[in-house]
Amino acid sequence: MKLRRRHRSHDHQSCALAHPGSAHVGARTLTLPRAVCASFAVTGYPREVGAGWLEPLLTYPGHLDVSLHIEPIPQQVAAMRLRRRLARLESASRSDAAHGRLADFAAEAAADDATHLADSLARGHGRLFTVGLYLTIHAPSEPELAAEVERVRALASSLLLDAQPATFRALQGWTTTLPLGVDSLNTTRTFDTTALAAAFPFTSPDLATSVGETGVLYGLSATSNGVVLWDRYAQDNHNSVVLARSGAGKSFFTKLETLRLLYQGVEVAVVDPEAEYARLAHAVGGTCLHLGAAGVRWNPFDLPASHGPRDDVLSRRAMFLQTLIATMLGGTPLTAQTRATLDSAIITTYQTAGITRDPATWSRPAPLLADLVVTLTRKTAGQTGADLAAQLAPYVTGSYRELFDGPTTAHPSGHLTVFCLRDLPEEMKAVGTLLALDAIWRRVANPRDRRKRLVVVDEAWLLMKEPEGARFLFRMAKAARKHWAGLAVVTQDAADLLGSELGQAIVANAAGQILLRQAPQAIGAVGDAFDLTDGERQFLLTAERGEALLVAGPASRAALTIVASPSEAALVTTDPQVLAELDQHDQPSPLQAHAAQPSGPPGSAETTTHSQDDNEDGDPL
């Protein structure tokens, strides 16, 4: 199996041959029309190898072909070979002891390895494979080939690999390293599953972290051209922070990771202020909820249909409503008297609707925000209640009433749920973000439906500027890991995130921090917060679009270039010019457009409504 091929162009004249399409086969070299090559078979290996031990060869800057041929050994054959090997080693050890010779420590080490392999094979913990590792070095001329051969063999020696030339088999060596799947040299070694898995370049040498089954390709390393894979669910916590100035590619990167996590079966929920994830949701069969669109209603008083036997759902909902109303009122912290009045009014509103602390009443229709305002205007609420009712009037009878003017019309569900806030006025974005996060958290905290989840909060500065919203986001960052969920905070305003204690705490609770190009005005705060070196700061100041620095701790950092396939890039790009070209190609005919018009009520075209609500009330409040 061919692992990787690297090429480097040369502006040299082609080698002289009798015919343009001919090849001259020498003892150790093969002369082709435009190059000379030499092949080597690796015959000696180190006793122990680490993850990505072939990385230096695969990222060699010259023109080097590396071919790895793998063939599984049947279990019965492997067991028989191990028994014979152990018998020979034991016989040699006893013979040395009988003749008074010194112990052969290499043979003893080989016997220990064979015993370990036999035990692992008998328990079904692994398999054995025959592996052939071959190298073909290319150069435009023989003197340059000799220099390249010296460098490659020195590199192989530093890895404790013994590379022997394919003498009198130059043609067979060349064809062995071609992507033909044919091993003409047949110089193999027996590997177990662990050693063979470590040969594949699925880890970055710059990241001292493990990669599990949900590892995601982030891109190519900027220093070694190796791959950079990251598995957020294999870390201490599953949170991440993405910081970049506008246009650096933070949304592109986040959507690309979201798409690749969907391949792994991870359920993703996104808070999207600008409808950037709508195309992705439609492409993968997700659900897009447009808060603020005509006909879309959201009742924050809704109680979950499922709950634990000891959950006090009503109290949790009352506490969240206090946070929500504080955000509606401009983010000013509520005084003790105001909070007490509001809490009493919320409980009274539920009681008026027939909902009490008895779980049997929780399935009844929930009251609306307008009902709370009516409760606050009663004489029992006093002047404080009247003031609160007056401040909530815009959300009940004023300009912002449409979102709360009726029962909820849609519920989040599916493998990808996007809460689109573009249709909300700017003054309502923080409120919409909080409502979306609350709905998402109900699904995340449902103990009857535990699975890997990711919550993406794009443009998190909208919520961070509100004290109550920032506290809610912080509590989610602290509690997400307990529910097998990760929180991805994406923002272009580093000051809003790093300028407060809550924002710094959110960064501290993120196992992965992805930094793209930074503005000169923000590099000081970003550099101090992430303890960046002078070189890393300069890299972030001059980074091109798509270049990033992955920070996973003081000793685990990797500069990388984000890569995407053409189909992925078409789904996740936010470039207006590219989107305009895609829209022109996908423009339907008038007949198709008429046939595609929705027949439901306004606002239902991109909203999926489900009668089943399996959310669990477990908000971090």
DSSP-assigned letters across all residues of 58-83: HT-SS-EEEEEEEEEPPHHHHHHHHH
Q: What span, in angstroms and rounded, lies between the C-alpha atoms of 333 and 496?
A: 18
State residue 306's pLDDT score: 60
Phi-psi label, residue 466: left if phi above 0, alpha if psi -120 to 50, beta otherwise: beta
Among 116-130, 200-214, 238-252, the range with the most confident prediction by mean pLDDT is 238-252
Q: What are phi and psi of 384, to 5 degrees?
A: -60, -45
For 237-296+412-583, which CATH superfamily applies? P-loop containing nucleotide triphosphate hydrolases (3.40.50.300)
Neighbours of 422 (CB within 10 A): 16
What mean pLDDT is predicted for residues 132-154? 95
Question: DSSP of 226-281, one letter per residue?
Answer: -EEEE-GGGSSS--EEEE--TTSSHHHHHHHHHHHHHHTT-EEEEEETTS-SHHHH
User: Are the CB atoms for 135 and 163 separated by under 8 Å?
Assistant: yes
Degrees to nearest 5, angle at CA 207 with 133 and 254 = 110
The encoded tokens of residue 247 equal: 């246009």
User: Are the CB atoms for 486 and 240 separated by under 8 Å?
Assistant: yes
Q: What span, in angstroms and rounded, lies between the C-alpha atoms of 21 and 95?
A: 59
HSE (side-chain half, CA atoms, 13 Å) at 472: 33
Q: What are phi and psi of 310, to 5 degrees?
A: -110, 5
- The residues near 594 (Cβ < 8 Å, ≥ 6 apart) are none
> What's the pLDDT band for 234 if we cut at 50, 70, 90?
confident
> What's the pLDDT band for 205 if we cut at 50, 70, 90?
low
What mean pLDDT is predicted for residues 317-344? 89
State how beta strands 512-515 and 240-243 pair.
parallel
> What's the pLDDT band for 4 if we cut at 50, 70, 90?
very low
What is the rounded radius of gyration, in angstroms, for the C-alpha atoms of the chain? 32
Please give the residue that has the higher pLDDT: either 99 or 424.
Answer: 424
Positive or negative torsion for Cα 539, 544, 547, 550: positive
Phi-psi label, residue 382: left if phi above 0, alpha if psi -120 to 50, beta otherwise: left
User: Are the CB atoms for 177 and 134 separated by under 8 Å?
Assistant: yes
State how beta strands 416-420 and 287-290 pair.
parallel
Percent of the chain, pLDDT > 90?
A: 38
Q: What span, in angstroms and rounded, lies between the C-alpha atoms of 63 and 447?
A: 54
| Distance set, CA 99 to CA 88, 94, 102, 103, 143 (Å) | 17, 9, 9, 11, 53
- What contacts 24+ positions apart, CB below 8 Å, involve 102-108? none
User: pLDDT tens, 447-484?
Assistant: 788 899 999 999 888 888 877 788 888 989 999 999 99
Q: What span, in angstroms and rounded, lies between the C-alpha atoms of 205 and 55?
A: 8
Neighbours of 193 (CB within 10 A): 15
User: pLDDT tens, 370-400?
Assistant: 999 999 998 777 889 999 999 999 999 988 8
Full-model pTM: 0.71
User: pLDDT tens, 120-140?
Assistant: 676 666 788 899 999 999 999
Q: What is the dihedral of CA 504, 245, 290, 408, to 10 degrees?
A: 10
357, pLDDT greater than 90: no
Q: SS3 of 163, please?
A: strand
For the chain, the farthest-separated pair of C-alpha atoms sits apart, in whole angstroms, at: 107
The residue whose two tokens read 């936010």 is 574
User: Are the CB atoms for 414 and 282 separated by under 8 Å?
Assistant: no
What mean pLDDT is predicted for residues 591-613? 37
336, pLDDT greater than 50: yes
What mean pLDDT is predicted for residues 139-153? 94
Q: What span, in angstroms and rounded, lies between the C-alpha atoms of 577 and 256?
A: 19
Q: What span, in angstroms and rounded, lies between the C-alpha atoms of 66 and 85?
A: 30
Degrees to nearest 5, angle at CA 270 with 318 and 612 = 60
Q: What span, in angstroms and rounded, lies between the C-alpha atoms of 365 and 302?
A: 8
User: Are the CB atoms for 237 and 511 separated by under 8 Å?
Assistant: yes
User: Are the CB atoms for 292 and 424 separated by under 8 Å?
Assistant: yes
> What's the pLDDT band for 309 if we cut at 50, 70, 90?
low
Percent of the chain, pLDDT > 70?
A: 84
Q: What span, in angstroms and rounded, lies between the C-alpha atoms of 394 and 431?
A: 13
Q: Which of 263, 213, 209, 281 is nearest to 240 (CA)?
A: 209
User: Are the CB atoms for 36 and 174 separated by under 8 Å?
Assistant: no
The encoded tokens of residue 251 equal: 């949304």
Among 311-315, 499-503, 579-583, the range with the most confident prediction by mean pLDDT is 499-503
> What's the pLDDT band for 412 if we cut at 50, 70, 90?
confident
Residue-wise over 216-238: b if at least 16 C-beta within 10 A, else e? bbbbbbbebebbbbbbbbebebb
The encoded tokens of residue 422 equal: 């573009």
| Distance set, CA 266 to CA 257, 565, 569 (Å) | 11, 20, 20
The encoded tokens of residue 439 equal: 């709905």
The encoded tokens of residue 326 equal: 């504080």
594, pLDDT greater than 90: no
* Average pLDDT of the residues of the chain: 82
Please give the residue that has the higher pLDDT: either 273 or 556.
Answer: 273
Q: Which of 59-73, 297-311, 415-429, 549-563 has the lowest mean pLDDT?
A: 297-311
User: Are the CB atoms for 304 and 616 separated by under 8 Å?
Assistant: yes
Report DSSP state, residue 216: E
In 555-613, the DSSP E strands lie at 557-562
The residue whose two tokens read 């979306």 is 436
Positive or negative torsion for Cα 155, 160, 166, 167: positive
Residue-wise over 39-55: b if at least 16 C-beta within 10 A, else e? bbbbeebeeebebbbbb
> What's the pLDDT band for 557 if we cut at 50, 70, 90?
confident
Q: What span, in angstroms and rounded, lies between the C-alpha atoms of 311 and 615?
A: 13
> What's the pLDDT band for 275 if we cut at 50, 70, 90?
confident
Among 185-189, 201-205, 409-413, the range with the most confident prediction by mean pLDDT is 185-189
What mean pLDDT is predicted for residues 200-228? 75
